Structure 1
Amino acid sequence: MQKIALVTDSGSDLTLEELKENNIELVPFRIIYPEKEYNDVLEISPDDVYNRLKEHIPTTSLPSIDYMEGVLNRLEKEGYTHVIMISISSHFSGTGNSFRLLLEDHPNLTSFVFDSKTLSAPQGTLVLMTAKMIRDGLSFEEICEKLPVLRTQSHGYFTIDTLEYLKKGGRIGSVAGTIGSVLNIKPIIWVSDEGVYETYAKVRGQKQALSRLQKIAKQELDKYGDCDVTVLSGGADDLAQKLYEMIKDFEHIKSIRFSKIGPALGVNTGPGTVGVSLQEVH
């Protein structure tokens, strides 16, 4: 009899309520200020970080090895036989690889570490879908087979107010060519199939950025059919609410929810980030 545990890192931007309701184990990134270190989600909220960004940009670090080891030890004690870990894109963090190495010392746990090659709501949606598959009684092998397919059906786009934070965090990647602070150019960014940031489009001004996200959402829904949709806010709740109102009545939206971009990601995107995530439903 398989007893399957589900683990994710805080790059998935799931709330404490979502984690608890779906029996998901969290390994939190560390948010590091000069005076103190915090466990992402568990000890610090997105709003806490955004409110302090102007005075200080914290650094982020992998989840503690001791913390991850503690999770694995507890799962074994609780009788779990299998572990599925869904990590943030390996291009942004080595969390998945660290967890995989720790699992080598736990031969009694049959494991699968899945590189989501994405982050935030797209990653979180994959985690929630996996939790549902576990509840529905799918086997470990069936779930491992389905996850790569589900990832190809995940689509996410966001716009940021400034490139400053991506540059400081060293995460700018293929977005580097998007230079437009003087012209008020706003990049529409997506995470490619390889799991890196790339520029999808460039528009002028915040209003046009929201309009383009609305257009992208409509195109994706018309192309793929029924989707679960998530509107993302990174210190931009008012903008996210506007985007929600702009798309909420579109055909093919099976469900729609909000998600806050969490601290570990927010320090790299900065305040004023808004986006939309679509997960195909078949």
Structure 2
Amino acid sequence: MTTEKIAILADSGCDVPENLLQADNLYTIPLKIIYKDAEYTDKLDITAEEIYAKLPTEIPKTSLPSGTVINQIFEKIISDGYKKLIVVTISSGLSGTFNAVRLAAENFPALDTFLFDTKNIGIGAGVHAIRAAELAAAGRDFNTITATLQNGVDKSKIFFSVPTLEYLQKGGRIGLVSSIVGNVLNLNPIISCNAEGIYYTVAKSRGRKKSLDKSIKLVKNYVADHEKVRLLVAHGGAEDEARTLEQELKLAIPQAREVLFGQISPALVVHTGPGLIGLGAQILD
């Protein structure tokens, strides 16, 4: 057991559930959503539904918060009495957040900061922040928690079934996802992040149902015979469908201790469009 006060900072693209963010030692770096005539702060003054409504007329851009904002967050953490900080970000291969926070941390040498590049996105990244918070609450010391994170990059995996690649292409986030004529062939790609944290195509299925059935099989294969498992279900404007898949995933992996369910953040909506379903798992043993 340790008496160290450890703060945990995650960017809003990690999609840590709102109820968990209420913990005193959890902080958020909000990403920005930029339209031609307005700028918004992810999850604070714009919703995913508002972005969906505007997509037919304008696809916004996303951006990091300014260095000033990041510095203010560090100052707040220090003023709250913390000397140890764990920063969890979405993949550096998909966002500049990791590098921006790394540069900011250099301005605060009094704060012992560990930066963790999850090589993942959405709740697939966020579960590492949740794990760090759980270990801190259990009294694990700073070095133990950071070592656990470093050794657990591959302990989280999420598979996204996307109806169209249009938004990933327009947002420049296509990564290694192969270009396919999805609308013509009715192919629904399943994508994930590879070991370098870049999107790649895991599978292509003809039709929505086959794509989602395949996603469940991919999660089941990933979990294999692990007993301590947390399931992940994320959606982009497809809650009813995601709720049905949540039940199917629980039946396929009955040993799971819980399911984290939620809508993806507005900043991620920009790059995926409506209809995304993400199914995944975090291995805890």
TM score, norm. by length of structure 1? 0.95
In structure 1, the partner of 2:176 is 174
Find the counterpart in structure 1 of residue 283 from structure 2.
Answer: 280
Matched residues in 1 for 2:5 and 2:260: separation? 30
**Percent identity between the aligned chains?**
37
Give structure 1 stretches of 5+ with no counterpart: none
- Work out the CA distance in 2 between the residues paired with 1:271 and 1:147: 32
Question: Please, which runs of 5 or more residues in structure 2 have no aligned partner?
Answer: none
| Residue matched to 1:36 | 38
Aligned residue pairs total: 282
Contact 1:157–1:189 (Cα < 8 Å) also in 2: yes
> Which of 33, 49, 52 is the matching residue for 1:50?
52
For the aligned residue pairs, the C-alpha RMSD in angstroms reads 1.5
Secondary structure at the counterpart of residue 152 of structure 2: helix
Look up the match of 1:155. 157
In structure 2, C-alpha distance between the alignment counterparts of 1:24 and 1:48, rounded to whole Å: 27
The aligned amino acid for 1:91 is G
The residue aligned with 1:2 is 4
The one-character-per-residue Cα deviations of 1:33-59 (angstroms, maximum 9, x if unpaired) are 122211101222222222322222111
Would the aligned equivalents of 1:3 and 1:82 in 2 still touch at CA under 8 Å? yes
Deviation track 1:234-276 (CA, whole Å, cap 9, x = no partner) reads 1221221221132222322221131211111111111010011
Partner of 2:68: 66
Moved more, 21-30 or 153-162: 21-30
Local SS of the residue matching 1:105: coil
Provide Cα deviations, 1:107-160, integer angstroms capped at 9, x if missing partner: 110111110110101111111111111111111111111102222111110110
Give the superposition deviation at 1:277: 1.6
CA distance in 2, matches of 1:44, 1:15: 17
More displaced stretch, 92-101 vs 44-53: 44-53
Check conservation: 1:30, 1:64, Cα contact below 8 A. no
TM-score (norm 2): 0.94
SS at match of 2:110: coil
**1:14 equivalenced with 2:16 (yes/no):** yes
Indicate the larger mover: 218-227 or 162-171: 218-227
The Cα of 1:178 is off from its aligned counterpart by: 3.3
Find 1:89's aligned residue among 88, 91, 99: 91
